[in-house]
Amino acid sequence: MLAKLRSMSVVGIDAFEIGIEADISDMMPSFAIVGLPDGAVRESKERVMSAIKNCGFEFPSRKVTINMAPADMKKEGSAFDLPIAVGLLIASCQVDIDKPDRYLMVGELSLDGSVKRVKGMLSIAICARELRCEGIIVPRECAEEAAVAEGVAIYPVDSLTEALAFLQGTKAIQPHHTDLKALFCQARHYAIDFKDVKGQEHIKRALLVAAAGGHNILMIGPPGSGKTMLARRLPSILPDLTLDEALETTKIHSVAGLLDPRTPLLATRPFRSPHHTVSDAGLIGGGSYPRPGEVSLAHHGVLFLDELPEFQKNILENLRQPLEDGKVTISRAAMSLSYPARFMLAAALNPCPCGYFTDPRHKCSCKPEQIQKYMARISGPLMDRIDIHVEVPALTYEELAQKQPGEDSASMREKVAAARSVQVQRFKGEKKIFCNAHMETRHVRKHCELDGPSQELLKTAIEKLGLSARAYDRILKVARTIADLDAKPAIESSHIGEAIQYRSLDRKLWLGG
Ligand SMILES: Nc1ncnc2c1ncn2[C@@H]1O[C@H](COP(=O)(O)OP(=O)(O)OP(=O)(O)O)[C@@H](O)[C@H]1O
Ligand SMILES: [Mg+2]
C-alpha cells in the first residue's frame, strides 16, 4: 500500500514543500529512501524504527521505499522523521487516517517516539501560510516560533502517538496562537544602555554619527578603554526594527538553530562578535551542511570585529560582497544559496601590539617597525569600506569616578531616527540606497555640495594633514550625515570640520599616511 504525506525542507532561509511517499511491498525486507537524502535523512530509518516499536507498533518486515519529491532537490536534516513514521504506519495498515495530506508535518523523532524541535521552523510556517495549507503539525518546543508566522493553524504535538491520535480524530488539539504585536513590543527592550558609559562623549558622538548614516566605524584605543563596551551598545541606538525586519532576522537565527525557545521573535537588532579565529564558513556562511555565517546572523544589526589585526586577511576580504550587496551567495555543487547579510560593521583594535602607543600613562614597549607590521595586517579593501575611525582614549580617574549618567540610548536613538528619515526622503527613488553610507560617487556629487568656506577647509585638511584620496568621498558622506543630524539642508564648514576628525588612521604616521 502507498501513503502520501506533505512535509517541508529549508534551503537558504526559505522553506519548500516536500512530498513524502511511503510504499510497502511484499518482497524481501529492505529499506530505501530515495530523492537525494543527506546523512541525517538516511539515518532517520534508525530513529523511525525505534520510535515505531516504542509506541507499540510494528516496523514492517517487508520492502519499504520512501520517496521524497522533488527528486532533484537535496533533502537535509531530521524534520522528515515524523511524516516518514506516519507514512509507514499508514502504508502497513496499522493506522487508518483519512486524507493524511491535509496537514503539513515536521518533527525529529527520538527513539522513544517523542517529537523534537527542528531548525528553520519560522520559515516553514511562513511557507505553509503562503501555500494556504490547512494546518501544520509541529514539535511542541517549536510551536511558539511557528505561531509567529500568523495566519496558519499550528498544531503542537509531543509524540508520535499524539500526532497519530490527532490525525485519526481521536484527540482534538487547539491550534497554538501567539499575540505577535504584544510579543514584538515586549521583546524590543535592550538590556544595555549608553548611559552606563562614563565620559567618552567624543566617541559616543562618533557612534551616533555612524548609526545615523549607516557608516562603518573603527575604534582604536588602549586595552580597557571601553571599545567593546561602546560597540555592544551600538544596536541600541539604531532605529527600531520593523516587524518585517524582525521576521527576517529571526528566520536566519531559526535556520541556524540558534533561536532560544523562550524568545521566538528577535525584536532587537543583533550584535555579533565573532572571535578572530573564526573560519571562512563561520564568518560568511556555507560548509558541507550550509549554515548562515556571522555576517547573516548580524543581518539588520551590528557585526563587531574585535582585535581586527588578529583576523586573517583573506577571511576579512570575503566581507566585501556582503558589505556591498547586503547578502552572501554560497555556491554548491547543485545550486547556489543566498543569505541576507546587511549589517553595520564596527571594528576595534589596539594602536600597537602592546596596546599602549596612544596611552600617555603607560610606556609603549613596541619598536616602530613592529607597530607598522601590526597595522599593515589590516586588510586594505576592508579599510576602504570604513568611513569613520576614532581614537578611544583611556579614561582618567575623574571621568571614571563621575556619578552623573551620560546621554541614554533612547535619546540618541531619536536623533538617529530623525536623521534617517531625512535620508529616506533623499533616496526615495533609489533602489539599493537607504542611507548616506551607501552613496556612490554620483550621489556624493549630487547631495554633498560644499560652499566656499567648506571647500577651503577640506582643501587645507587634505593638503596639510596629508589625508589620502580615499578619505575625500568618505569625509563628504560623513559630513552629509552630520548635517542631517543638525537638520541642515546644506553641508556647512562645521560639519566638514567634524567629519575630518573622524579620519584618525589617515593622519597617523604609523599607517604611512
Ligand atoms: N567609559 C567607561 N565607563 C564605564 N566603564 C568603563 C568605561 N570604559 C571602560 N569601562 C570598564 O572597563 C571594562 C573594560 O572595557 P572594555 O572591555 O570595553 O575595553 P576594551 O577597550 O575593549 O579593552 P581590550 O582592548 O582589552 O579589549 C568594561 O567592562 C567596563 O567595566
Ligand atoms: Mg575589547
Burial of 26 (0-12, 13-18, 19+ CB in 10 A): exposed
What ligand is nearest to the CA atom of residue 273? 2
- At position 418, the amino acid (one-letter code) is A
Instruction: Assign 43 a pLDDT band (cuts: 50, 70, 90).
Output: confident
CA of 394 to the centre of ligand 1 (A): 9
Check residue 334 and give its pLDDT.
66
Helix/strand/coil for 91 = helix
The DSSP string of 436-485 is GGG--HHHHHHH--B-HHHHHHHHHHHHHS---HHHHHHHHHHHHHHHHH
Residue 74: is its pLDDT beyond 60? yes
* Gap from CA of 279 to ligand 1 centroid (Å): 27
Going by alpha carbons, the residue nearest to atom 24 of ligand 1 is: 223
- Which residue has its alpha carbon closest to ligand 1 atom 7? 226
Q: How far is the CA of 360 from the centre of ligand 2 (A)?
A: 19
CA of 365 to the centre of ligand 2 (A): 20
Q: How far apart are CA 392 and CA 249, in angstroms?
A: 31
Look at residue 472 in the predicted model and tell me its pLDDT.
87
Lowest mean pLDDT segment, chosen from 221-230, 334-343, 465-474: 465-474
Q: What is the pLDDT of residues 331-341, one digit of tens each?
A: 876 678 899 99
CA of 79 from ligand 2 middle (Å) equals 40
Q: In whole angstroms, what is the distance from residue 59 CA to residue 89 CA?
A: 8
Predicted confidence band at 359 (pLDDT cuts at 50, 70, 90)? confident
CB of 192 within 6 A of ligand 1: the answer is no
- The per-residue pLDDT for 143 is 94
Q: Is the pLDDT of residue 203 over 70?
A: yes
Ligand 1 atom closest to the Cα of residue 198 is: 3
pLDDT at 469 over 80: no
Sign of CA dihedral 473, 474, 480, 483: negative
Do residues 65 and 106 lie in contact, with contact meaning Cβ atoms separated by under 8 Å? no
Dist. CA 230 → ligand 2 center (Å): 9
pLDDT at 118 over 50: yes
The per-residue pLDDT for 462 is: 83
Q: What is the DSSP letter of 338?
A: E
358 lines ligand 1 (CB under 6 A): no
Centroid of ligand 1 to alpha carbon of 253 (angstroms): 28
Residue 22 DSSP class: E
Mutate to test the pocket of ligand 1, among 220, 228, 308, 350 (most ligand atoms within 8 A of CB): 228
Q: What's the rounded Cα separation, in Å, for the pair 13 and 254? A: 9
> Is 107 in contact with 9 (CB distance < 8 Å)?
no
pLDDT for position 508:
57
Average pLDDT on 403-421 reads 92
Average pLDDT estimate for 389-399: 85
Least confident of 1-15, 316-330, 374-388, 499-513: 499-513
Does 41 have pLDDT greater than 50?
A: yes
Ligand nearest to the CA of 355: 1
Nearest ligand by distance to the CA of 219: 1
Average pLDDT, stretch 51-80?
A: 91
Residue 511 has pLDDT above 60, yes or no: no
pLDDT at 297 over 90: yes
What is the average pLDDT across 431-451? Answer: 89
Nearest CA-CA partner of 284 in 303, 269, 261:
303
Q: Cβ(404)–Cβ(417) under 8 Å?
A: no
Report percent pLDDT > 90 for the chain. Answer: 61
225 lines ligand 1 (CB under 6 A): yes
CB neighbours of 380 closer than 8 A, spacing ≥ 6? none
How many angstroms is it from 64 CA to the middle of ligand 1? 62
How does the average pLDDT of the chain come out, rounded?
A: 90
pLDDT at 419: 95
- Asked whether the beta carbons of 244 and 410 are under 8 A apart, the reply is no
Q: Answer positive or negative: Cα dihedral of 272, 75, 14, 265.
A: negative
Which has the minimum average pLDDT: 144-148, 203-207, 359-363? 359-363
At 150-167, the pLDDT tens digits run 899 999 999 999 999 999
pLDDT band at 513 (very low <50, low <70, confident <90, very high): very low
CB of 199 closer than 6 A to ligand 1?
yes
Q: Does the beta carbon of 405 lie inside 6 Å of ligand 1?
A: no
* Dist CA 437 CA 472 (whole Å): 13
User: Given the CA of residue 232, which atom of ligand 1 is nearest to it?
Assistant: 18
pLDDT of residue 333: 67
pTM for this structure?
0.90
User: For ligand 1, atom 18, which residue shows the shortest CA distance?
Assistant: 226
Q: What average pLDDT does range 53-66 have in this prediction?
A: 94
